[in-house]
Structure 1
Amino acid sequence: MFAMLRKERRFSVLLTGHLLSQVGDGVHEFVFIITVLHVTHANVAASGAVYFFRFIPYVLLGPLGGALSDRWPRRSLMIFADLARMTITLVLCGLLSTRSLGVGGLAVIGMAMTALRTVFQPAFQGAIPSLVRTEHLPAANGATQTVAELGGFLGPALGGTLLYAVTNPGYILVIDAATYLVSALCIRYAIGTPSRGGSDAPAPGAGSITLRALYRDFASNLKAALGRRDLFVSIGYSALCILFVGAALRVLIPTMLKAEGFVDSVIGYAMSLLALGAVAGALLCGNLSRDFSTASLMTYWRCYGFMLALLPLCAVSAVVTLAGCFLLGAIGAFVDVVLPTNIQRLSTQENVGKNFSLFSTLANTGEAMSGAFAGALSVVAPVSIGISVIGVIVVAVGYLGGARSAVRHG
């Protein structure tokens, strides 16, 4: 991976900006969470409403981001999204500093940041193949996943540390705003001004940008994806796995550790070990894996489900539990690296953004629904059993996806 970064200088610059942006995102998420708890006075219903509205843009605008990234220069879209997020972050900083922010304002800001993320992410993923050589694409995706995990790990820790030194959490967001500015400058440097016919040039017909045209593009691409077996399996079956896995990671595993009598610090360490395992797995996958086919992706999903099913057995001690979480995170990173590489290889420059947008829309919808699934499962089975059941389901989905991808038309 490091050899690839030395050779692919433009991608390295882009990734540096992305790393800073991800750390800033982690700081923003930390501040947002404690602000929601403060403004709602830790009311579960009100907090849930804020996060519900924050999710809405994924459903309404998720299809548009990919269509835009395939019609407009991705460089321009990413710079616009970063500068817009910088502006919104500074507004939030000002509102927090004057203590004039309510539940409604939090929901609007959360929705705006999510909407801009639906624009940035497909453009970013779609730009990677144009910045690196084909043989370096898996390592580039591994590096991107490593950066995402590092940002999620370092950002909240930095935010928590700074909160001790700063009385108002709004001031901490200045760091987040600065990271968006640096990211925009890195994008401007890494991706040259698009030329006609270049890899970042608008697709034919890009001049007619309307909501109807963008949704029509998304629908047309969805129909085409349904007709391509490997692409459908990669996107659809992975989104289905995320529906179940999200429930385990966000709700059931912390609940199980609490029920087993572990102190809150162990739960925090377990979440950190999941992230560290993901970093290690992303580094290994980018360097070791050679097969990025749909069948290989489904194999990794089966391995992930198997490890998840065994995780309750690790709860015999804190050390074994943390080791199990580290291993689970490492296996999950193989999925996270193989999946985007597979989508990129099954896509063209004309539809790579729409394919990532399709996956993002389905995956985020599944993750949002996972909380309800976890609640329903906890009614009929103990939490530890529920985690094992989810693991078995993921193994079954991976097996069915692998079997379907192996079928060839005669």
Structure 2
Amino acid sequence: MEATRVSQPSVTARPAGSSLRNPLALRDFRLLWIGQSASSLGDQFMMIALPWFVLQLTGDPLALGITLALQGIPRALFMLLGGAITDRVPSRTVMLVSDLIRLAITALMAVLMFAGQVQMWMLYAGALIFGLVSGFFTPAATAIVPRLVDKENLQAANGIFQGSAQLSVFVGPLLAGGLIALFSNGASADAPATFTGITLCVIVDALSFLASVLTLWMMRSQPLPCASEPAKGVRSVLASIREGLGSVWRDPMLRMILVLIAGMSLLFTGPLLVGIPVLANERLPEGAAAYGLLMSGYAGGNILGYLLSSTLRTRRVGIIGPLLMAIFGVAAVLFGLSASTWLDVAVLVLLGAGTGYLAIIFITWLQTHTPEDMLGRMMSLVLFFVNGLVPVSQALSGAIIKLSLSGLFVGAGASMLLLSLCAGANRQVRALEL
């Protein structure tokens, strides 16, 4: 079917005033939300089951590292290509094909686990294919929302979409861990635990992909804006990627937003993923329990931030953005100097709420200020910066922690304050509006 250019998504006009109810009144967005909420929950089951299975199967942390790397690196590398494809093929089609492939992989993995026939090379191959497919799926999933929802309801729609995903992050690991533990009772050196609980987690993930496939299938095809030239072939796709990169580089505001997103990812991802477990282990008396509280606090704050972004609409992105970044900096310094579990939890709730809110308004600004035929490439570029900087931030955090745990958070907070001051001092940034 040939794509047709459109200026706005084909949706019914709604009264002014964004609310949680408005986007969900749109049939296609409601189907997308239901399917992706189920899929996000299933992803959390797999995120717990796969590492646990690899460790139970091999007892080798290196094997786990290789498995995760085979999944994570291709996902980051192929996002730019996925964004270019998304600007040529309807996002729904890209998502549907991607989820059909992932459904097949997870179903096959569940069958092999049930039969006790899994070998590590199979897991490596599955992780690699998963990573490649996710590189195409993720930009499409991000670009489809503004093609389903009118501009007035876009911020609320993003809040609902991201909030549901974060709720899955909050709930999913608890359910998956409980399911695995349920079938591990009574395990010992003489009678090791079976893989029943892990297999059930994989089945849950497969069923969640099935739910996503069904809801995507039920959606009506969305019109896709055409590129200026109907280019074909590998060279045209590469040229499309270069066009997207060039477009961002020539636009000072897009460039600035991406720099801010990259800076926040670099400064906060490593300290959160590497620093928090070390801090809980070395400084807080509750140990592992404190670690769980801290991560739950951050995830809960994220959910609050997403909900607030759906109900409290702001136009002055250029004012609220640098202000929130400054608050993040102060909070990070307090977190690094505190030895109180509950103060640390409170700080992480604040950080989670602020980052969740800021993420939605930044994403909404990018979606509303990017030409429709560039949406896939733009969102893939954002995701490339965020995902690509994760290992860099983790490596730097691990090195700094060896010198000083407090120094990691104080340094990250001070750097965030400096970044917020630079952003706030820029007249063009201050003028940013939704």
TM-score by length of 2: 0.86
| Aligned match of 1:308 | 332
Does the alignment pair 1:299 with 2:323? yes
| Aligned match of 1:362 | 385
* SS of aligned partner of 2:389: helix
Q: Is the 8 A contact 2:76 2:384 kept in 1?
A: yes
Q: Is the 8 A contact 2:226 2:373 kept in 1?
A: no
Amino acid of the structure 2 residue aligned with 1:2: L
Residue of structure 2 aligned with 1:142, choices 159, 166, 182? 159
Deviation at 1:314, TM superposition (A): 3.8
| Aligned match of 2:411 | 389
Deviation at 1:141, TM superposition (A): 0.8
- In 2, distance between residues paired with 1:256 and 1:408? 36
Amino acid of the structure 2 residue aligned with 1:308: A
Amino acid of the structure 2 residue aligned with 1:70: D
- In 2, distance between residues paired with 1:398 and 1:328? 15
Does the alignment pair 1:10 with 2:28? yes
| Aligned match of 2:210 | 181
- In 2, distance between residues paired with 1:370 and 1:98? 40
Amino acid of the structure 1 residue aligned with 2:301: G
Deviation at 1:262, TM superposition (A): 3.0
- Count of matched residue positions in the alignment of Structure 1 and Structure 2: 400
Does the alignment pair 1:121 with 2:138? yes
Residue of structure 1 aligned with 2:343, choices 320, 323, 340? 320
Residue of structure 2 aligned with 1:400, choices 383, 403, 422? 422
> Equivalent residues in 2 for 1:22-101 (5 A)?
22-41=40-59, 43-101=60-118
Q: Which runs of 5+ in 2 are unaligned?
A: 1-18, 184-193
- In 2, distance between residues paired with 1:292 and 1:152? 30
- In 1, distance between residues paired with 2:426 and 2:241? 24
| Aligned match of 1:252 | 275
Pair 1:18–1:362, CA change in 2 (3 A)? same
| Aligned match of 1:106 | 123
- In 2, distance between residues paired with 1:408 and 1:19? 35
Pair 1:241–1:408, CA change in 2 (3 A)? closer
Does the alignment pair 1:193 with 2:221? yes
- Percent identity at matched positions? 25
> Equivalent residues in 2 for 1:367-386 (5 A)?
367-380=390-403, 382-386=404-408
Q: Is the 8 A contact 2:298 2:352 kept in 1?
A: yes
- In 1, distance between residues paired with 2:73 and 2:307? 33
Pair 1:302–1:258, CA change in 2 (3 A)? same
Deviation at 1:255, TM superposition (A): 0.6
Q: Is the 8 A contact 2:79 2:138 kept in 1?
A: no
Q: Which runs of 5+ in 1 are unaligned?
A: none
* SS of aligned partner of 2:332: helix
> Equivalent residues in 2 for 1:213-292 (5 A)?
213-260=236-283, 261-291=285-315
Pair 1:378–1:164, CA change in 2 (3 A)? closer
Deviation at 1:60, TM superposition (A): 3.0
TM-score by length of 1: 0.91
Greater helix fraction, Structure 1 or Structure 2: 1
> Equivalent residues in 2 for 1:340-351 (5 A)?
340-351=363-374
- In 2, distance between residues paired with 1:238 and 1:355? 13
Deviation at 1:401, TM superposition (A): 3.2
Q: Based on CA coordinates, which of the two structures has the bigger radius of gyration? A: 2
